[in-house]
Amino acid sequence: MSLKLPRIIGHRGAAGYAPENTIESIHTAADMGIEWVELDVKLTKDEVPIIFHDDTLERTTNGSGLVSQTLYEDIKELDCGSWYGESFIGVNIPTLEEVIDILIDRDLGLNLEIKPCKGREKETAEIALDLLSTIWDDHNRLLISSFDHVSLESACDIANDWHRGLLLPEEWPENWQELTKYLQVSTINVNASSITRKQVEDVMDMEKPLLAYTVNDPQQARTLQSWGVDGFFSDTPDLIKEVIISVH
């Protein structure tokens, strides 16, 4: 089963143009002709999988406190758009279930990043993937990724036939190659701002697609592509798409 990865994946939807990880951001990416989006999933206190990045609510909502300590009924009342701009006042945090419906309707592929709150690495993966398995059947257009090895291990156990991506931070763990094999990942996703040409070559030796996050500078995209990077996560996917397509 081959993964049908595009060159460009919209980061948290199209976070350069709409509030990240929202339905509005997903529609924005789709309207630009972007084929895939990357979204973050974590659990509320009562274990509802929601599309949200941070452990705390302050940065992108009018709420406060830990996501893991907040019930979904309170989360759904929050505004997560006004921080971004007046035209997005009243935008809500979506559930995973809500966004899957939108993705299927808009014919979008998905890179779902498991973003667990501390101590919920296993259950976040289990609950999110259990829900996904009841709705999503296009295995070629789904990539489950995480920085967290426990979450990826759970993904291996629950849905071994789904593609997985290992997210590497700026400082790569020494055993990243062993992890790649152990977790049977399909892609390696790296930080564009710190990746070196040597590291790109090391990944190419593993014969896995290499995806770089988060690339908003067209010149950086060009350079990384010339090194051998296969794809890019971008807040401004339309701008990156222009330069990448012109190279091919």
Q: Which residues are catalytic?
A: 11, 53
Mean pLDDT value of segment 116-125: 97
Least confident among 1-15, 34-48, 225-239: 1-15
Q: Write out the DSSP string of 169-214.
A: -SS--TTHHHHHHHTT-SEEEEETTT--HHHHHHHHHHT--EEEE-
What's the CATH code, domain 8-54+96-247?
Answer: 3.20.20.190
Q: Write out the DSSP string of the chain.
A: ------SEEEETTTTTTS-TTSHHHHHHHHHTT--EEEEEEEE-TT--EEE---SBSTTTSS--SBGGGS-HHHHTT---STTT-GGGTT--PPBHHHHHHHHHHHT-EEEEEE-PPTT-HHHHHHHHHHHHHHH---GGGEEEEES-HHHHHHHHHH-TTSEEEEE--SS--TTHHHHHHHTT-SEEEEETTT--HHHHHHHHHHT--EEEE----HHHHHHHHHHT--EEEESSHHHHHHHHHHH-
Instruction: Report pLDDT digits (tens) over 51-89.
Output: 999 999 999 999 999 999 999 999 999 999 999 999 999
Q: What was the pLDDT predicted at 1?
A: 63
Buried b (16+ CB within 10 A) or exposed e, 199-210: bbeebbeeebbb
Instruction: Report pLDDT digits (tens) over 126-184.
Output: 999 999 999 999 999 999 999 999 999 999 999 999 999 999 999 999 999 999 999 99
Instruction: Report pLDDT digits (tens) over 224-243.
Output: 999 999 999 999 999 999 99
pLDDT of 248 higher than 60: no
With cut-offs at 50, 70 and 90, classify the pLDDT of residue 2: confident
Residue ranges per domain, the chain?
A: 8-54+96-247
C-beta separation of 168 from 188 below 8 A: yes
The count of other CB atoms within 10 Å of the CB of residue 138 is 12
Does the pTM exceed 0.95?
Answer: yes
With cut-offs at 50, 70 and 90, classify the pLDDT of residue 41: very high
